[in-house]
Structures are given as structure tokens and as C-alpha cells.
Chains A and B, each alone.
Chain A
């Protein structure tokens, strides 16, 4: 079986796990919960095999064009973390890993209902953004020993931030008393926009021929809806989107009832948010910022050049530094810090995708 087969199996397993976790959330049946965990572990093992198998293919690929390269060097150069597709897949792997660790450490199974949807959304994004799945030759700038460690640590950091986002979002729902609260309005609008953009990309995807799909993000992003040439389509897109966001706001509170009927407590969610940021922050700082700076210096002779990718990772860093200081030194708890955790993850998404897709910079090869 090929890497792609294993990956498809894992993607199926994660989506199934998402459904089972949500059923568990509603039924609170132990067997359902255990099934959800088992399916997730199955998906994770399958994805690990897919990852290693891709690595091995990529190793052969590298050695073919670089016969003189030694074993360790080839292994480092062949790490499948070279482009948007591979990094998104690795993000899914990391977030599931961190979720499983938390599930076993804290015995909180219901968090899965918030984390697996993030994984499923990323998988959906991979599919509709039409990113290239081929093993591509490694471009000169990426031929460095830093590639593996920089990407590995940064993505584990991103994944921890992803978990904190899931927990903070659940927290905000749980403490919401009324739909008119600012926190809740903020939360439901963010989630609403998130889903609207994904659906709009889905429509882009369906309106394009298969050849055009590979350039969906670069050239056809939202062209079928919000950026359509027909004014009517634009107007309808906006109208439907606003209605949809309002519906999320109207019915999102239903989640609260489900959550409060569970063993989840706001305190526990607050703790999980804090813990995962505690893991994510050092990983992101060391792997993303420090190693990135050292690598930049050895490749371009400048450890910091304020290019958009660097600047956005610094912005992300500021948001989480703010979270940690507010919580640890100022003793802020609850809503205020939960909002920071949500904003932090929005900054992560922008650092990771927005910069490559919207802004230009030295890291632009990430969009291939």
C-alpha cells in the first residue's frame, strides 16, 4: 500500500472519530467514548505509517539526484515537510498527537469533540485548496539541516496552540449566560466566518476545472462568491454569509447545554488552555523564532529581516506572551484570557496560511 492509501485511511478515521466524539458528547456513553479514542488512535497510527512511508519515498528521490549525500544528510533533506501540503498534514498529525497526550493525561475525552473538527477542517482545506500532493524536488533554500527541526518544533507548537483554541472556544461557550454577551458574539462570529470561508472555498473548488484547482488559492480564491465578477453573486454571497453567521450566533448556545451536561468544567477547560499554551509557547519560540532566525542567518546572512512571515510569527508570539503574563503575573482568569487564546490562534493561522496566501515574503515557497 502506498503512503496516499494510509493517509486516506487516517483521514477517514479522523472524520469518523469526529462524528463519534460528538455522539459521545451527546450520549455520554462510555463505549462510544472508547470507540472514539480507538478510532483516533487507529487514524494516528495509519497517518504515522503514511508519514514514514512518504519520508522513505522522498529519501529515495533525494538520493537519486544527490548520490554523494550521506545517510543522515539525506534523511534530514528528505523530511516530508517541504510545502504547504506536507506541512498541513504534519499539523494534523501533531494536533492529534497532542490531543491524545492530553486525553490520557487529563482523562478528558470530550475535548476530542473540539479538536478532531480542527483536524477535519484542515483535511478538508487540503482537499479543496488543491495543493500539490506530488513529492517535489527540494529547492536550494530549503536544503538545510534546520528544515526538519524548525518545522517539526514550530508545528508541534502550532498544534498545541490549536488544542488551546479548542479548549478556549469550549470555555467561552460554557461560561456564556446570554447571547448578548460580547465574548459570545465575538466567538460565534469567528466560528461563523471560519465556516463561511471554508464553504466559499468549497464552491470555488467545485466551479473550477481540475487543472485550475491547483491554483485555487493563488488565483481563484473566493472568485466564485465574494470576489465574483457578477455583482448579484457578490450580494447574494454576503447576504447568505451574514445570515449564516447570525444563525451560528443564534444556535451556538445550544452547545452550552451539551457541554454542561458533561464532566467538562470551565476550570478544566481553562487549565487545558493554559497547559497547552505552556507547551506551545516554548516550542514555538525555540523552533519557530529562534531556529528560524539562525537558519535565515546561514542562508541569507540576516537573522531578522521583518519579512511578513517573521513579523506575523512575532505578532503571534506577542499575543501568547501577553496571555502568559496576564494570567501568570496579573492573575487574569476566565473570559479575558480565553479571548486572548482565541486571538492567538487566529494569529497562528495567519502566520501559517495568510502570509503565504495573501502577503509575499521570503517564505513564499511555502505556498507551492
Chain B
């Protein structure tokens, strides 16, 4: 017996500790303070970077030692370190236990049937008002009934000897809002666990025209997709006249069993999802030593446009004109050097691609001209013929983030219920009102004495205003009737 009691006491103490706000306060502080470390020390970075950072504080000679200590403490990948995760677990346990500990009391309050109160009790409630009105008991009752109804209360009535009591409540379930918020936090943790356990995060750099049936995991190794993804083309779209990117775009095709089943142009905020795996536009670049195709649109004056794909050095003819052109030069980013005024390549990426074409025509002297992809008017030849530089295809790759996260739906769901829970918790309160009405003198004589009492679990100031309003509305209606008479 004794032993059992002791056990129970220990359990009780542990439970109380885990449910305590003190623990919550401590965990909040620890999580907040330790999170700061992770924002200063660069996470999962090359050691050299952080050693350089530490050298600023501890000096060059001490920095490597301090780095090693910090690394042992998990500061370099802190949010995944055993102790940080432990605090997150303690945080969740605290959240669950304190919710379980408090919930029965709250539930009781929610489920407690509303009962009339004695007048002297009403007069001691947190929010109270008293007044006397010259009218009959019935008239007063009707007007207060209407006034409460107008404020969206479901009014109950109880008749006592020579007295009437109206009582009502609103938003009793608002008391549960905070539990919804707590639950949503737990659901977010669950969603994160599901994502970490059953999902993956990787990347894939796909050159234009190539396909892959695997993605590469950030930590090393590869993971099969179960289908193939192909990059048809990649393009950086720029704002007109300036080198500020407007959009990074790739056209991806999903190929399953040799057949194309899905095709989409993805952009930064518009990924492609297939069978639970999502491809996000994340970077781009040039494929080293690639030999691509120049895609040209050729249109003789008044004629039809003809699309050609050519290699460097190839020669083409503008149909019916006898004019021939040879691709003799290419620049990914051609511009004028601001100092010398000469044409020069100013970037490695295809910021402002241009090709140089040597044109030759029968009986006339040939000439060389640069045609810019972003400025099609540079391709209009004397005589109105057009040569459009559409693309240099096969030389860029698209950088994709590849992710599968089966927990994300739970996260979204948790976000929605957290928003609802927060709204209810902070903007809605459980309100109860009692109004006791009785004639001042016995036997239905004298003015009617009105005692109003109310309780709310938060936002008392607003509640006081509401009660004042209810009182004013009813008094006004009663007085209005009297003056009419």
C-alpha cells in the first residue's frame, strides 16, 4: 500500500512537472536562445567558413580548437543535433501533458449547463450593472429578451416569485481554441516526422534534351524516381532592356514506359508534381564544352518563316533570295564595354546571347552582323528579310530541387486549424449573462430593479461595452414606449 502510494506520488510529481508552465517557460527560453547560435554559425557549411568566423572572436590560433568544441556540441548542424531535438521532444511532451492536464477542467466549463443564479450572486459577478426603470415587469422582460437576442444570444428564462431571470451564453466552445492551437503544433511535428521518415530531398541538374530516372540526394547517393524526367529546354527570361531576370523557366516532360505522360513549363513559384514527387526550379547553368544547336527562324521578305537548327560554322540560305549566311561567332552575353565602346562578352551565362553571321549575296560585297536573341530587330536585313535567333539549344542545364514529402498535407492541415484556433483563442470569448428583473416594492409595485451580471474568459473590456450596449438598447426601447403613451 505504502509503496503504491509513493509510486503514485512520484507519478503525480512528474506529471505536474511535465504539465507545468514553468517547464514551458524554460523550454521557450532554451529553444529561443539556442536557436540564435544556429543563425550566427553557418549551418552545414564548409569548416573553413566557420573557422574564419570564429577567428574574428577568438583569434586565429584558438579558432580551430573552438571550432572542434563547437562541432562536438553539434553547433555546425545544430537543428539536427541530439540535444536540440531533445528539447523539441520535451517541448512536445510539455505541450501534450499540459493540454491533457487542463482539458478536463475546460471541458467541464464548456459542458456545464447554464443555470439561473440568485440575485445576490449576480451582483457579485466580475461584470455587473444595476438600474431601475419605471415600467412593468413583463415589458422590461420583453425588451431585455429582445436586446439579448439582437446581440445573438440564445436566451433562457426562469420565473421566480415576483421576479424573472433571463440568462444566456455565447461561444462556449471558444474555450477550446487554445487546445486546437496546441494540437496543430503537435500535428506539425508529426508532419515533419512523416516527411523525414518517408520523404526525401534531392537535386537534379538536367541538360537541355536529356532525361534521368534518378535524383541525387544531398547527403550523397541517388534515389530512383520510378519514371523519367526530361528537360526539353531551359530559359531565363529578362525584363526588357535590363539584365534583371523576370523568370527562370524549364519545360519538363515526364516519361513513363517510353511514353510522355505529362509536360509542363515550371517556374520558381510553379513546380511540377508527378506521383508525389515534385520538381522545383532552383538553379541553372552552362554545360561545360557543350556543342549545341542554333535555332534560327528565317523569313524572306513577304515569305513564310522557316525554322532551322544549325551547328557552329553551318551555312544556310534565305529561300528565294540567294543570300547565304554562315554562323561564325557566338557570345552568351554581348554588350558594349563602357570604357572602350567595343563589343565584348560580359558574362558566362546566357544573359544577352548573340550570334555573328557572315552574310554573302550574289554580286554584292558580304558583311558580318551580330543578331541578339533578346532584340529580334537586330536580325532584320536590308531588303526586309529576317533572321531570328531563337535559341542556342543544348548548352544550358536546369537545376531542379526534387522532393517527396508525404507529410506536407498534414502540415497544411495543421496550418489551417492553427489559424482557426488562433482566431478563436484571441478574438472570440465565452460570455455568459444573467439579468434579474423584479419590482422594487412587493406586490408588483414600484419601478423594476434590473441587476445584470456577466462573466467572460477573456476580453473583459469589450464584454463590458457589450453589456452596456444591451442595457442601453433595452432601456431606450422601454423609455420610448412610455413617452409614446
Contacts and interface: CB of A to CB of B under 8 A. Distances in A.
Contacts of A322: 25, 28-29, 32
A314 interface: yes
A315 B33 CA distance: 8
A290 interface: yes
Nearest to A145: B269
A355 B40 CA distance: 10
A279 B426 contact: yes
Nearest to A309: B39
Interface in A196-233: none
B209 to A, nearest CB: 23
Nearest to B26: A322
A293 B36 CA distance: 19
A321 B38 CA distance: 21
Contact of B38 (A136, A302, A311, A328): A311
A301 B39 contact: no
Interface string B220-240: 000000000000000000011
A325 B21 CA distance: 7
B403 A290 contact: no
Interface in A316-368: 318-319, 321-322, 325-326, 328-330, 355, 359
Given A139-B244, A286-B419, A318-B28, A300 B38 contact: no
A299 B280 contact: yes
B28 A301 contact: no
Contacts of A66: 246
Interface stretch (B317-325, B328-336, B375-383, B410-418): B410-418
A326 B28 CA distance: 11
A143 interface: yes
A42 interface: no
B242 A137 contact: yes
A299 B403 CA distance: 12
A281 interface: yes
A299 B269 contact: yes
Contacts of A286: 418-419, 422
A368 to B, nearest CB: 11
B451 interface: no
Contact of A330 (B21, B269, B411, B412): B21
A280 to B, nearest CB: 10
Given A139-B245, A282-B426, A300 B39 contact: no
Contacts of B192: 304
A326 B25 contact: yes
B461 interface: yes
A277 to B, nearest CB: 10
Interface in B15-56: 21, 24-25, 28-29, 31-32, 35-36, 38-40, 43
A285 B418 contact: yes
A301 B422 contact: no
Interface residues of A, number: 45
Nearest to A298: B269
Interface in B438-460: 458
Interface residues of B, number: 47
A140 B247 contact: yes
A321 B178 CA distance: 12
Contact of A319 (B32, B38, B242, B278): B32
A125 B150 CA distance: 49
Give the dominant DSSP class at A's interface.
helix
B401 interface: yes
A9 B282 CA distance: 42
B246 A294 contact: no
A331 to B, nearest CB: 10
Contacts of A330: 21, 25
Interface in A61-108: 64-66
A282 B427 contact: yes
A301 B239 contact: no
B246 A293 contact: no
Contacts of B28: 318-319, 321-322, 325
Interface in A116-142: 136-137, 139-141
Nearest to A317: B32
B38 A271 contact: no
A290 B242 CA distance: 35
A244 interface: no
B312 interface: no
Interface string A265-282: 000000100000011011
B26 to A, nearest CB: 10
Contacts of B423: 282
A65 B374 CA distance: 14
Interface string A283-315: 001100010011001111111101010011011
B31 A318 contact: yes
A65 B426 contact: no
Contacts of B29: 318, 322
Nearest to B401: A301
A301 B268 contact: no
**Which of A271, A286, A319 has the most C-beta atoms of chain B within 10 angstroms of its own C-beta?**
A286
A260 interface: no
A275 to B, nearest CB: 8
B224 to A, nearest CB: 19
Contact of B280 (A301, A315, A329): A301
A144 interface: yes
Contacts of B282: 300
Q: Which of B267, B282, B422 has the most CB of A within 10 A?
A: B422
A170 B288 CA distance: 63
B40 A290 contact: no
With most chain B CB atoms within 10 A of its CB, the pick from A286, A301, A322 is: A301
B214 interface: no
Contacts of A326: 21, 25
A326 B29 CA distance: 12
Interface string B67-96: 000000000000100000000000000000
Interface in A241-258: none
B271 interface: yes
A301 to B, nearest CB: 4
Given A140-B245, A140-B248, A65 B43 contact: no
A306 B38 contact: yes
Contacts of A298: 269, 271
Given A319-B28, A322-B32, 10 more contacts: A140-B269, A298-B269, A299-B268, A300-B282, A301-B271, A303-B411, A311-B36, A312-B35, A315-B32, A325-B24
21 contacts: A65-B240, A65-B246, A139-B245, A140-B245, A140-B248, A143-B247, A282-B426, A285-B422, A290-B419, A297-B408, A300-B280, A300-B401, A302-B201, A318-B31, A319-B32, A322-B28, A322-B29, A322-B32, A325-B24, A355-B39, A359-B39
